Structure 1
Amino acid sequence: MARRTPRPAPAPIRATSMWRVDQVFLARRGMRVEVTCSLVNDQGGLRNLSITAPTDDPTQAVRHAARFIAGKGNVSGARQARVRWTREQATTEQDALIRDRALEDDFLDEFEETLAAVRDQQR
């Protein structure tokens, strides 16, 4: 009977791992906007957080999501985060590739303000 060689255990997920926002996807859900943030960490981990904003205005929705994500405490940044609408919201394949730079600026501004407030409270 052949013996199996023990495989190394996978690296545990660190609870203290710092995440950063990589992409933000928007989708209309009735009279609200669902915002899904794709987060990555320094070890290549990927995590998605979704929140449905209590509004149908995309600007207010990304600001709402930025406050939620930055308030988590272990998300360190959102620089170069891309904001785009999900595929089902796009009318053509090209629309799915278009980034909404104005919403990116709104998301980053609100994220940085909330993150600064969280850091001030921790001092």
Structure 2
Amino acid sequence: MARRPRPGQRPPHEPIRATSMWRVDQIFLVRHGQRIEVICSLVNDQGGLRNLNIVAPTSDPVKAVRHAAKFVAGKGNVFSARQARLRWAREQVVTEQDELIRDYQLEDEFLDEFEETLSAVRDQMR
């Protein structure tokens, strides 16, 4: 039997859903020698946050971003990457102004590969 909250007491939290849908909010790139780490910040429909770290086996930022997009879209529960902001991580910037600069070309590369992979995954599910 479920207990009712006493007056002045907060109601119990809603249960966590087993399947939450996530979207890519921000993407950060970090150089590690000959490789690039791509950190994708995900947000779900209930306000939850999660980071996915992917180390791409390349030093080319375009290939690294496309590699990460395939990985993230292949997860199955990430539904969108539209309006995701892409920046180099704080360690990579030279001036404080660099922190504010978005790389629109790499954002487009990520979104294109994400949409292609997501489309292929959906086609396989049909």
The answer to whether the superposition gives a TM-score over 0.5 is yes
Pairing partner for 1:95 from 85, 95, 98: 98
Aligned residue type for 1:102: Q
Q: Runs of 5+ in structure 1 lacking a partner?
A: none
Instruction: Report the alpha carbon displacement of residue 44 of structure 1 after superposing the two structures with TM.
Output: 0.7
1:4-19 aligned at under 5 Å gives the runs 7-19=10-22
What is the TM-score when the length of structure 2 is the normalising length?
Answer: 0.90
Mapped pair 1:23 → 2:6: no
For residues 13 and 36 of structure 2, the distance between their equivalents in structure 1, rounded to whole angstroms, comes to 37
Aligned residue type for 1:113: E
Q: What percent identity do the matched residue pairs reach?
A: 75
Tell me the alpha carbon deviations over residues 37-60 of structure 1, each in whole angstroms, 9 at most, x when there is no partner: 000011111110001000000000
Partner of 1:119: 122
Q: Secondary structure of the residue that 2:38 maps to in structure 1?
A: strand
For residues 14 and 99 of structure 2, the distance between their equivalents in structure 1, rounded to whole angstroms, comes to 35
TM-align CA RMSD: 1.6
For residues 69 and 75 of structure 1, the distance between their equivalents in structure 2, rounded to whole angstroms, comes to 7
Instruction: Report the alpha carbon displacement of residue 7 of structure 1 after superposing the two structures with TM.
Output: 4.5
Partner of 1:107: 110
Pairing partner for 1:51 from 51, 54, 62: 54
Q: Runs of 5+ in structure 2 lacking a partner?
A: 1-7
1:28-47 aligned at under 5 Å gives the runs 28-47=31-50
Number of aligned residues: 121
What is the TM-score when the length of structure 1 is the normalising length?
Answer: 0.92
Instruction: Report the alpha carbon displacement of residue 14 of structure 1 after superposing the two structures with TM.
Output: 1.7
Aligned residue type for 1:25: F
Mapped pair 1:62 → 2:65: yes
For residues 106 and 8 of structure 1, the distance between their equivalents in structure 2, rounded to whole angstroms, comes to 45
